[in-house]
């Protein structure tokens, strides 16, 4: 599927992106080389005759590959004027809104080759819009299922806009059906306008044969707030770019990331918060666990731009390795160009505490269970910051399932 019947401005923007993609460099992920993954290519695919599975779930929004299966908003959200639409529909019904914000504010299409490539080959997308002064109490659940029952190209884009003085909670879950080797490109732009508040939870569960490029970017206006809770539990190769741009005075972003790497997979997660405005606050907390012969790199980047007086930026990046064959990096980077600020960082890469293991096993607990308990304790500081008990329990269940599979091998 491709985006069809589009306004002229979209055609021109796509053409500009395609031209830019030919000359722009690939993005840089410190201490990690992904250039052989060929993320800037389009596969030749057969005609897709895959039937949409009938057991995808009953979330508010369900997509399968480049198709939107259904959108079901509660009566309360409909009455509040919340808009959730397939991008194809939104380009017609809300063209002015999409034109204003699609890859113009949070993510610019000409930032690098992959951002340009995403727009140039875009074949699926969603618009989520919360009107001004609307508080959405329930969580808006979005399930995006990759179609790997066949060879496919997927270039997806999710545009989230919380208008002034609004609030919303969003759960975005990524899954895979099938085991065909495919690439998965997804950019999610999250715009928090003046005095709005967004709680965004991501739960990434893509297949081991999926090579993923994930870009989630927040744009924060005056007094806006975005709380990120991101669980990166993919089984395949992954580069993830999680950014928050604090453009408005008093804006605030809390970024909590949990990641697991196992088998032979390689993952790199760049988490960046940039303080552009005075009295803005950005905090990063990342915890990663590495098993098997896998690799996990955390790059935490805190940047305070000159003029952002009174800004705060703190980060903590910690990696726990459970194998002699694993490789992990935790790289804190602080770039500060202003004097009247508070900033700090912490980082560590280490192995399971043998004293903790000995204590637990001496009480009759088996080694695999003891390892899982130690890991749960290690991840606990981030898990307790998740916005709801339901989401916390769900993420813990995913972690437990992956640990059981990895530690049993």
Could you tell me if residue 341 is inside a domain? no
How many CB atoms neighbour CB 325 within 10 A? 12
44: confidence class by pLDDT, cuts 50, 70, 90: confident
- What per-residue confidence (pLDDT) applies to 187? 98
353: confidence class by pLDDT, cuts 50, 70, 90: confident
Could you tell me if residue 232 is inside a domain? yes
Tokens of 24: 């722009």
CA distances from 106 to 87, 124, 194, 381 (A): 17, 19, 14, 29
Could you tell me if residue 369 is inside a domain? no
- What per-residue confidence (pLDDT) applies to 2? 65
- What per-residue confidence (pLDDT) applies to 123? 93
- What per-residue confidence (pLDDT) applies to 250? 98
| Pair type for strands 67-71 and 61-64 | antiparallel
Average pLDDT of the chain to the nearest whole number: 93
Could you tell me if residue 19 is inside a domain? yes
- Residue 331 sits at φ, ψ, to 5 deg, of -115, 100
Least confident of 70-84, 236-250, 294-308, 312-326: 312-326
Name the residue with higher pLDDT: 94 or 406: 94
Could you tell me if residue 204 is inside a domain? yes
pLDDT, tens only, 249-295: 999 999 999 999 999 999 999 999 999 999 999 999 999 999 889 99
Q: What domain range is 161 assigned to?
A: 8-248
**Longest CA pairwise span in the chain (Å):** 70
Mean of the pLDDT values across residues 361-372?
A: 86
Q: For 353, how many CA atoms within 13 A lie in the half-sphere containing its CB?
A: 10
pLDDT, tens only, 134-155: 999 999 999 999 999 999 999 9
Chain centre distance of CA 252: 18
Could you tell me if residue 334 is inside a domain? no
- What per-residue confidence (pLDDT) applies to 245? 98
Could you tell me if residue 153 is inside a domain? yes
pLDDT, tens only, 14-36: 999 999 999 999 999 999 999 99
Question: How many domains does the chain fold into?
Answer: 1
Could you tell me if residue 49 is inside a domain? yes
Cα four-point dihedral sign 55, 56, 62, 63: negative
Q: For 298, how many CA atoms within 13 A lie in the half-sphere containing its CB?
A: 30
**CA gap 35, 26 in Å, rounded:** 8
- What per-residue confidence (pLDDT) applies to 409? 65
CA distances from 396 to 86, 109, 271, 379 (A): 31, 35, 22, 10
With beta carbons less than 8 A apart as the criterion, state whether 135 and 165 touch: no
Tokens of 219: 């744009």
């Amino acid at each position: 599927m491709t985006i069809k019947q589009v306004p002229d401005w979209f055609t021109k923007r796509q053409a500009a992106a395609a031209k830019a993609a030919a000359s722009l460099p690939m993005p840089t992920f410190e201490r990690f080389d992904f250039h052989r993954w060929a993320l800037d290519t389009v596969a030749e695919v057969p005609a897709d005759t895959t039937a949409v599975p009938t057991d995808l779930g009953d979330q508010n929004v369900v997509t399968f590959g480049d198709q939107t299966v259904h959108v079901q908003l509660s009566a309360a959200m409909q009455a509040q004027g919340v808009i959730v639409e397939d991008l194809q529909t939104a380009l017609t019904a809300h063209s002015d809104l999409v034109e204003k914000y699609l890859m113009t504010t949070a993510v610019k299409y000409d930032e690098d080759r992959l951002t340009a490539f995403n727009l140039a080959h875009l074949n699926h997308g969603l618009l989520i819009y919360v009107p001004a002064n609307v508080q959405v109490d329930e969580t808006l659940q979005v399930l995006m299922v990759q179609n790997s029952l066949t060879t496919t190209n997927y270039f997806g884009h999710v545009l989230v806009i919380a208008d002034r003085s609004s609030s919303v909670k969003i759960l975005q879950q990524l899954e895979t059906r099938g085991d065909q080797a495919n690439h998965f490109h997804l950019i999610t732009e999250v715009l928090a306008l003046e005095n709005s508040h967004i709680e965004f939870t991501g739960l990434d569960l893509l297949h081991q044969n999926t090579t993923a490029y994930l870009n989630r970017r927040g744009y924060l206006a005056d007094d806006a707030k975005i709380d990120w809770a991101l669980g990166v539990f993919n089984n395949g190769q992954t580069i993830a770019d999680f950014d928050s741009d604090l453009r408005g005075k008093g804006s605030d972003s809390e970024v909590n990331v949990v990641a697991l790497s196992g088998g032979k997979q390689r993952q790199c997660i760049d988490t960046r918060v940039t303080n552009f405005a005075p009295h803005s606050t950005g905090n990063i907390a990342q915890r990663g666990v590495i098993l098997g012969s896998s690799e996990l790199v955390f790059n935490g980047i805190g940047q305070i731009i000159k003029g952002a007086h009174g800004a705060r930026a703190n980060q903590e990046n910690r990696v726990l390795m459970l194998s002699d064959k694993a490789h992990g990096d935790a790289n804190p980077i602080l770039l500060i160009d202003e004097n009247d600020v508070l900033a700090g960082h912490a980082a560590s890469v280490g192995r399971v505490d043998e004293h903790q293991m000995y204590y637990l096993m001496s009480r009759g607990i088996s080694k695999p269970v003891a390892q899982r308990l130690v890991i749960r304790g290690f991840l606990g500081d981030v898990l307790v910051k998740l916005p709801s008990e339901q989401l916390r329990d769900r993420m813990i269940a995913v972690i437990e399932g992956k640990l059981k599979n990895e530690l049993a091998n």
